[in-house]
């Protein structure tokens, strides 16, 4: 399949769909109160799930596409692959009341400098920050159910940005830090601050 100049394999589209669904369930569980809420107040979860499919799904998709498009811009061959173990951990963690959002990654190959690798990595979290900022005025203006959905979009995208900027393992922050510690601080600190605000300031129930 081809969208504009970007090609997607059948395997890639399947992985995107599965990761989208699993991550949406994980965020709905997390914001809905985890496994306890699922047992005693299942309506909260089912009320959150459609909103999570839109907000978490959009945040995940644009995050990964930012990696893919930036990698292609630098002459890379790039394709998303879901990590099914991590997706299981995301859902299980949300049931237990904590968030772990690492659904997979865009793998790319080709000649790239350390700076280009860093820019490919930071493109994802910055896209989430931009998307969160786009949802923010909608939350203020719409009110009601649509305002709640927009508010969820703000918090989910800020959390995705902060989580992915953690300088550990395969996360984006580690790649950015290897490229430039100054760039890591410049991009990472605002992402972490927004994520903390989203985590502490959100209440759907």
Give per-residue pLDDT as tens, 24-41: 888 888 877 766 666 566
* Distinct helix (H) and strand (E) counts, the chain: 8, 4
Model pLDDT, residue 205:
40
The residues with which 183 forms a beta bridge, in sequence order, are none
Please answer whether residues 62 and 80 qualify as being in contact, where contact means their C-beta atoms are separated by less than 8 angstroms.
Answer: no
Structural domain of 173: 2-201
- State the pLDDT at residue 112: 86
pLDDT at 66: 96
Adjacent-strand bridge partners of 78: 108
* The total number of structural domains that make up the chain: 1
DSSP 110: S
pLDDT of residue 146: 86
Catalytic residue ranges: 64
What's the token pair of residue 96? 């237990």
Indicate if the alpha-carbon torsion angle 3, 146, 101, 49 is positive or negative: negative
The per-residue pLDDT for 132 is 95
Measuring CA to CA, which residue among 27, 134, 123, 135 is closest to residue 69?
Answer: 123
pLDDT at 127: 97
> Residue length, the chain?
205
**Which tokens belong to 130?**
């931009």
In this predicted structure, what is the pLDDT of residue 38? 62
Q: Give the per-residue pLDDT at 94.
A: 84
pLDDT tens per residue, the chain (205 residues)?
Answer: 776 678 889 999 999 999 999 988 888 888 777 666 665 666 666 777 888 888 888 999 999 999 999 999 999 999 999 999 989 988 888 888 777 778 889 998 888 899 999 999 999 999 999 999 999 999 888 878 888 889 889 988 999 999 999 998 889 999 999 999 999 999 999 999 999 998 886 544 4
Write down the pLDDT at residue 7.
85
């Amino acid at each position: 399949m081809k969208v504009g100049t970007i090609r997607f394999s059948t395997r890639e589209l399947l992985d995107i769909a599965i990761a989208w669904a699993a991550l949406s369930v994980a965020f709905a569980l997390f914001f809905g109160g985890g496994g306890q809420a699922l047992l005693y107040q299942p309506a909260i979860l089912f009320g959150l799930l459609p909103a999570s499919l839109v907000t978490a799904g959009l945040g995940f998709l644009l995050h990964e596409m930012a990696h893919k498009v930036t990698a292609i811009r630098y002459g890379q061959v790039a394709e998303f692959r879901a990590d099914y173990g991590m997706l299981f951990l995301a859902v299980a963690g949300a049931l237990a009341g904590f968030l772990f959002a690492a659904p997979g990654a865009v793998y790319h190959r080709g000649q790239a400098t350390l700076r280009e690798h860093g820019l490919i990595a930071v493109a994802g979290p910055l896209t989430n920050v931009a998307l969160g900022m786009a949802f923010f005025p909608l939350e203020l203006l719409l009110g009601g159910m649509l305002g709640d959905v927009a508010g969820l979009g703000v918090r989910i995208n800020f959390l995705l940005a902060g989580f992915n900027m953690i300088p550990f393992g395969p996360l984006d922050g580690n790649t950015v830090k290897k490229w430039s510690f100054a760039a890591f601080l410049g991009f990472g600190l605002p992402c972490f601050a927004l994520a903390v605000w989203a985590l502490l300031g959100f209440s759907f129930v």
